[in-house]
Amino acid sequence: MAASLMVSFLMLGGKMTAFFITGSAAIFSDAMESVVHLMATGFATFSLWYSIRPADPSHPYGHGKIAYFSSGFEGGLIMVAAVSIIYTAVMALIEGPKLQQISIGLFITFGLAMVNLILGVTLIRIGKSQNSIVLISNGQHVLTDMWTSFGVVVGLFVVWLTDLLWLDSIVAILVALNILWTALRLIRRSVFGLLEYADPEDTRTLMEILERAVKGGTIAGYHQLRHRRVDNQKWVEYHLLFPEALSVQEAHARSHLVEDAVHQLFAKDDVVVTAHLEPEKHADAHEGRTNEPGNALADEKNDG
């Protein structure tokens, strides 16, 4: 993230230089996206530092949810940039574009795009290996910036070849629409994270683990399966059922076997498992148990 922040300053300086040299609306749109990226990267850097702080009495579940605020904040800033770019491009069409020294702007923009390509791929690769939404979101933003720059380069090259100056504004509008799409994706991810959306694939994986434990005789059954993701943390809760004659020590040992299986299948995550042990013939034990993949909840009724 420190590297990303330093590159953000480089991008902004380089693109503003290219804009002042050429007067291109397309390059201005690229520079505006870099202004937003610089602000977003600063907030993302703070969010990454804050999200990895350990749990404390005031935040017993940790600080990971700030990652979703970071993603949403980044998406909101990108959306503002897109609207600003469209306005500038439309005004350039109305007033008539004035371009100069396009070749210099092309070389500068292309060089900056290559730097962003390397940085974006690196951020996403590290983010996926660490399951960090902050790094992944920032990497996707960097790649959006890269594609924006490549789009500008292609557009300006066509303008340079054809002398159709109005194409510069059209390219800027197309770039803004692409930026807007990225903004909506980031905001969607943020909303899903804050609302604790349960991934159906994770639900199926957890249910397969529990069903195997039932078939293998490790547990007699289960219910009230819940799970949620907070950045790189996976929180899993379930109630496990055991024969009444089984000792607490043995039930606890078997519960750990199930927990170990969960940790193995979610090895990339920081998994926190909470298991509630119950006798098999508990009055409400089998209410709400489901074998339907995609259901993250089983029995919302309070056991008392």
Q: Residue ranges of the domains in the chain?
A: 2-194, 200-279
Between 184 and 299, the more confident residue is 184
Domain 2-194 has CATH 1.20.1510.10: yes
pLDDT of residue 284: 55
| Model confidence band, residue 98 (pLDDT cutoffs 50, 70, 90) | low
- Residue 75, pLDDT > 60, answer yes
Return d(Cα 108, Cα 18) in angstroms, integer: 7
Instruction: Name the average pLDDT for the chain.
Output: 78
pLDDT of residue 258: 92
Give the predicted TM-score (pTM) of the model. Answer: 0.56
Return d(Cα 82, Cα 108) in angstroms, integer: 22
pLDDT of residue 290: 44
Average pLDDT over residues 244-260: 90
Superfamily of domain 200-279, CATH level 4: Cation efflux protein, cytoplasmic domain (3.30.70.1350)
Between 126 and 68, the more confident residue is 126
Length, in residues, of the chain: 304
Long-range CB contacts (within 8 A, 24+) of 157-164: 157/106, 159/99, 159/102, 160/102, 160/103, 160/106
pLDDT of residue 301: 35
pLDDT of residue 210: 93
Please give the helix or strand (H or E) that residue 261 lies within, else none. helix 248-265
Return d(Cα 51, Cα 35) in angstroms, integer: 24
- Residue 13, pLDDT > 90, answer no
Return d(Cα 202, Cα 63) in angstroms, integer: 22
> Distance from CA of residue 98 to its chain's centroid?
39
What is 41-92 written as a DSSP string?
A: HHHHHHHHHHHTSPPBTTBTT-STTHHHHHHHHHHHHHHHHHHHHHHHHHHH
pLDDT of residue 293: 39
User: Model confidence over 207-245: pLDDT tens digits?
Assistant: 999 999 999 989 988 988 988 887 667 889 999 999 888
Return d(Cα 83, Cα 180) in angstroms, integer: 8
Average pLDDT over residues 72-84: 78
Structure tokens at 43: 């907030």
Query: Among candidates 143, 124, 142, 140, which has minimal Cα distance to 132?
Result: 124
